[in-house]
Amino acid sequence: MRERKENYHLLSRIDKSWTLFLDRDGVINERIVGDYVRNISQFKFIPGTIEALKILRKIFGRIIIVTNQRGIARGLMTEEDLISIHDYMLNELRQNDVTIDGVYYCPHDITDNCSCRKPKPGMAFKARIDFPDIDFAKSIVVGDSESDVQFAINIAAIPVLISSGGKQSLGGLMVFDNLAEYAGFIRKLIP
């Protein structure tokens, strides 16, 4: 883990009133470089992710997945394909005693000028409509891209970057190699 310590005092206060927003590709499942996860056979959990989610589920009150899926807008897959992938993912997690409260996705392309494509905050606002107890000031966003970091900033949440090397830490961000490392870090902080 590479991080700065500004957010430690906040992180030690995490309890069931907090929400964890997670990006999908590159955080929960393996990203396909230069392509999209288009079907269930291409969806592979990153090693250690299911165990990490078990830990995080015990700490956070809500876990929400927010994911840009422009492969739909590009005609590379259908919304039905995406829903099948998410059903598979959620079923696998349920079988491992992990419940995800909601999955929100943006099917639009960058040029569509929608309000839901990260870094815009539309998916977070949809989640808060469904779960009015979500407080963005008591939320953490874990993602693997600058758009995830900016999404966190746009909703006044704490950003956490997953980067397995190659990227430099952006000023003030906590950076972890994977979700398992982040979960271990958080578990040690919570009394």
Active-site residue flag, 23? yes
Active-site residue flag, 135? no
pTM here is: 0.92
CATH class (in words) of the domain with range 8-189: alpha beta
Q: One of 15, 25, 135, 144 is an active-site residue; which one? A: 25
CA torsion through residues 147, 151, 153, 158, sign: negative
| Alpha helix positions (H), the chain | 8-11, 49-59, 79-95, 122-130, 146-154, 179-189
**For range 21-34, the mean pLDDT:** 96
Cα–Cα distance between 11 and 147 in angstroms, integer?
22
Cα–Cα distance between 158 and 173 in angstroms, integer?
9
Q: Share the mean pLDDT of the chain.
A: 91
Q: One of 15, 23, 81, 87 is an active-site residue; which one? A: 23
pLDDT single digits (tens) 11-22: 778 999 999 999
Q: Show me where the domains of the chain are located.
A: 8-189
In 3D space, the residue among 65, 69, 91 whose CA is nearest the CA of residue 80 turns out to be 69
Cα–Cα distance between 141 and 120 in angstroms, integer?
13
